[in-house]
Amino acid sequence: MSFNSKHVNLDFVREWMSYDPLQGKFFWKKKRQGAKVGKEVGCVVDSRRVSKSGKVLYVRYRAMRINGVTHQAHRVIWTYHEGPIPHGKQIDHIDGDGLNNVITNLRLVDISQQAKNKPKSSVNTSNYVGVFRYKAGWGASISVDGKVIGLGTFDSKLEAAKARWYAEQKYGFHKNHGRLLPRARNFSLKNIDCGVDN
């Protein structure tokens, strides 16, 4: 299943849906093909993706269908408030919760900025992002713009974590980078069933 964000039919959204800014959710304001007035639009999608480096990433967000086209709700909400999303830009959830679509939790970023606000990998064993066992001690590294930068080797895990923290500050990583998020259930994008335009 692919997602489309370029052609959100805002006339349809405004006519058929109401947006609650406190909850960050769309609700049906008219009855439509099985969707009741007041019902939240769309469905929750849990998926598992594997990054280029082989890390398993769990993603959870809300999807919605508008005139037969599936959209990610956060992208519709951004377009509803701010206008079209420029080519090459992404919508980032500041707190990392893909279901928290309150407009103040969304920001327009490029891919490198979004990479600086990622949760800790599920395969991390040190409990610190970018810190790993290295020979008899600990190593630290950071990826910036697709390049891995070695930060050195250290006698303790805490020293390596401190070096990593300073590097995150230097390279402008978001304060939430490396936070723990609940694991999403393992669903395939093929299993999305949001119904007909809901």
Q: Is 54 among the domain residues? A: yes
Concatenated DSSP letters of 14-53: HHHEEEETTTTEEEESS-BTTBPTTPBSSEEEEEEEE-TT
Spatial CB neighbours of 44, under 8 Å, sequence gap ≥ 6:
60, 61, 62, 63, 99
Q: Which CATH number do you get for residue 68?
A: 3.90.75
Tell me the β-bridge partners of 77: none
**In a shared domain, residues 67 and 147:** no
**In a shared domain, residues 49 and 83:** yes
Q: What's the pLDDT tens digit per position in 92-122?
A: 888 878 889 999 989 888 776 666 566 655 5
- Asked if 33 and 197 count as a contact pair (C-beta separation under 8 A), the reply is yes
Question: What is the Cα Rg of the chain in Å?
Answer: 20
Q: Is 197 among the domain residues? A: no
**What domain range includes position 167?**
120-180
Band (78; pLDDT cuts 50, 70, 90)? very high
Mean pLDDT of all residues in 144-164: 85
Q: Which CATH number do you get for residue 163?
A: 3.30.730
**In a shared domain, residues 101 and 30:** yes
Q: Is 46 among the domain residues? A: yes
pLDDT at 188 over 60: no
Number of domain units in the chain: 2
**In a shared domain, residues 134 and 173:** yes
SS3 call for 129:
coil
- Asked if 79 and 11 count as a contact pair (C-beta separation under 8 A), the reply is no
Query: Residue 76's pLDDT is what?
Result: 93
Q: What's the pLDDT tens digit per position in 20-39?
A: 999 999 999 988 777 789 99
**In a shared domain, residues 111 and 131:** no
Query: Residue 51's pLDDT is what?
Result: 62
